[in-house]
Amino acid sequence: MMIDDSFFWFKRNRLTIPGVRGEHLFMHISDTHISTTDELSTPEERSETEKQEALWADFKEKFARGKLPFSQGNDEPYSEAQKISTVAAFEKQMALARELKPEALLLSGDNLDHMHPAGERYLKKMLASYEGKFLCVPGNHEAAACDGAWQPGVHTLEFDGFRIAAVDNSQRTVSAEDLEALKSLCAEGKPMILLCHVPLSTDACREEMHRIMDYFYIDAETADETGRAFVSLCEESDAIRAVLCGHVHGYHEMEFAPGKLQVVGSQGMAGAVHLLTVTG
């Protein structure tokens, strides 16, 4: 069974939304940083992939050992099982999703290490072959659109009693169009889980987020006008119940407003998996 593979390590949360019937399982992964080549890749692309794979192999170990400024105190697992390529790691993640059969697979950005043709072809192929529902947002390493994976705009999956909405905040802000779309969804009143890349830093979680680095969050005190409005909407709207994100490369869970859960998924390329169960 994939779930017993020593590559994986799991964090689990439960979110209660009144009126929801039954249990709904979601698999959330982040920061897989896929870098790959194929038969169409140029020599330059092959060289870049080799360089990036070496960079992330070094980064994974240094992060786990607490040797980076923003990873001190980290206690996430790291062993021979994590010493695999980004492609091998992603294929394990997808095999796990096929085994678990979550109601949706949620990918919170930096799916690709950088925008390169072979990586885009590979990701499109992998997601096209996945038989379940999925939502994917871009990270700061990616472009605003990737055919077959994500597109600009706010996108939703609807469930009985709640929805999941994906929004691009990869540049530590959101577009004016996406902000208005989110406001319209909030006005409908249906409980909502947001999927994005960059975590929120608010009064409720500022102390914890500031221990990381300001590069890794979006803050109502420092973001641009639409970014500030986005953070305020997340804090204040009764419709928004939780935020799932990534970017930090380490696992964190916190309340970003009273009763509102934020889960920062750790690096999927090193086996991190967050499983969220939504119940009534």
**Does residue 160 belong to any structural domain of this protein?**
yes
Q: What is the DSSP letter of 172?
A: S
pLDDT at position 32 over 80: yes
pLDDT at 109: 97
**Does residue 145 belong to any structural domain of this protein?**
yes
**Does residue 212 belong to any structural domain of this protein?**
yes
8-30: pLDDT as tens digits: 999 999 999 999 999 999 999 99
Task: Read off the pTM.
Answer: 0.96
> Any idea what the CATH number is for the domain that residue 184 is in?
3.60.21.10
**Does residue 1 belong to any structural domain of this protein?**
no
pLDDT at 185: 98
Q: What is the DSSP letter of 235?
A: H
pLDDT at 138: 98
Task: Tell me the pLDDT band of 144, cut-offs 50, 70 and 90.
Answer: very high
**Does residue 40 belong to any structural domain of this protein?**
yes
**Does residue 2 belong to any structural domain of this protein?**
no
Nearest Cα residue to 247 out of 152, 103, 107, 150: 107
**Does residue 177 belong to any structural domain of this protein?**
yes
**Range of the structural domain that residue 107 is part of:** 7-279
123-147 average pLDDT score: 97
Q: Let me know: does 152 contact 168? Beta carbons within 8 Å.
A: yes
247-272: pLDDT as tens digits: 999 999 999 999 999 999 999 999 99
pLDDT at 61: 86
pLDDT at 212: 81
91-113: pLDDT as tens digits: 999 999 999 999 999 999 999 99
pLDDT at 203: 92
pLDDT at 70: 75
83/58 Cα distance (integer angstroms): 10
Task: Tell me the pLDDT band of 1, cut-offs 50, 70 and 90.
Answer: confident
pLDDT at 72: 67
Number of domains in the chain: 1
Classify residue 263 by burial, with Cβ atoms within 10 Å: 0-12, 13-18, 19+: buried
pLDDT at 63: 85
> Torsions phi, psi of 119, nearest 5?
-65, -40
Displacement of CA 139 from its chain's centroid (Å): 8
162-209: pLDDT as tens digits: 999 999 999 999 999 999 999 999 999 999 999 999 999 999 999 888
36-90: pLDDT as tens digits: 999 999 999 999 999 999 999 998 888 888 888 777 667 788 899 999 999 999 9
Displacement of CA 150 from its chain's centroid (Å): 13
pLDDT at 223: 87
pLDDT at 208: 87
Sequence-distant (≥ 6) Cβ neighbours of residue 37 within 8 angstroms: 45, 46, 49, 118
**Does residue 96 belong to any structural domain of this protein?**
yes
